[in-house]
Amino acid sequence: MDFKKTNAELSTVTRDIRKFDVQTGNIYESVSIMSKRANQISSEMKEELSAKLQEFSSHSDNLEEIFENREQIEISKFYEKLPKPTLIAVQEFLEEKIYYRHPTVKVDE
């Protein structure tokens, strides 16, 4: 999922806890699924940001060049304004966009 085009809230909102266990039947399992997805999203965001900022790195930077790089600052500000990975994961879970499975449950072939 493209986390830049999500409709997740930008700040924390009050949620109805009963909506979380509708899909799994267990609130703790739902929280575990959302937590794992938030970690995946966080890793994706970090990798993408690092790749974009890597374009600006140079081994001979002096202190003045670091503070004057406006493009790098704009990229960082853009990622700071995105919804947090946890909020994106919650939104994806409520919209049933997360695929999960139980490794102990055998699927009929």
pTM of the model: 0.79
What is the per-residue pLDDT across 84-100, written as a single tens digit (0 to 9) for each? Answer: 999 999 999 999 999 98
With the C-alpha atoms ordered 74, 75, 77, 82, is the resulting torsion angle positive or negative?
positive
What is the per-residue pLDDT across 23-69, written as a single tens digit (0 to 9) for each? Answer: 999 999 999 999 999 999 999 999 999 998 888 766 665 655 555 57
Q: What's the CA dihedral at 68, 70, 73, 77 to 10 degrees?
A: 150
With the C-alpha atoms ordered 9, 15, 17, 23, is the resulting torsion angle positive or negative?
negative
